[in-house]
A and B are shown apart, each in its own frame.
Chain A
Amino acid sequence: MSEAAAVQSTGYNFAYLDEQTKRMIRRAILKAIAVPGYQVPFASREMPLPFGWGTGGIQVTAAIIGADDRLKVIDQGADDTTNAVSIRRFFARTAGVATTTRTTDATLIQTRHRVPETPLGPHQILVYQVPIPEPLRWLEAREAETRRMHGLADYGVMHVKLYEDIAQHGRIATGYDYPVQVGQRYIMAPSPIPKFDNPKMDRCPALQLFGAGREKRIYAVPPHTPVKSLDFEDHPFSVETWSKRCSLCGAGDSYLDEVIMDDTGRRMFVCSDTDYCAERRAAGHRGEGDGA
Chain B
Amino acid sequence: MIDKTSRDGLAPGFRSPVPDAQQTFRRLMDAFARPGTIVDLAAELAPPTSLMPAAAAVLLTLADLDTPVWLDPRLGGEAAGYLAFHCGCAFVEPLDQATFGVLVDGTDVRCLDGFAVGDADFPDRSATVVIQVDGLRADGGVRLNGPGIDGQAMLQVDGLDARFWTFQAGNRMLFPLGIDVVFASGRQLAALPRGIAAMAG
Contact = CB atoms under 8 A, between A and B. Distances in A.
Interface residues of A, number: 43
A30 B180 contact: yes
A286 interface: no
Interface string B153-166: 00000000000000
Interface stretch (A85-93, A222-230, A252-260, A276-284): A222-230
Given A30-B32, A38-B123, A222 B62 contact: no
Interface in B80-120: 99, 119-120
Contact of B193 (A22, A34, A67): A34
B167 interface: no
A23 B193 CA distance: 19
Interface string A26-49: 111111111110101100000000
Given A19-B21, A40-B124, A222-B148, A33 B62 contact: no
A66 B21 contact: no
Contacts of B119: 151
A36 B147 contact: yes
Contact of A205 (B26, B150, B193): B150
B40 interface: no
Contacts of A40: 124
Given A33-B193, A34-B195, A222-B147, A28 B124 contact: yes
A34 B148 CA distance: 9
A185 B175 contact: yes
B67 interface: yes
Given A22-B21, A28-B124, A40-B124, 8 more contacts: A14-B18, A23-B21, A29-B29, A30-B32, A31-B123, A151-B121, A185-B176, A223-B150
20 contacts: A13-B18, A22-B22, A23-B66, A31-B123, A33-B33, A34-B193, A34-B194, A34-B195, A41-B122, A41-B124, A64-B22, A148-B120, A152-B120, A183-B195, A185-B175, A186-B176, A205-B150, A220-B33, A222-B33, A224-B150
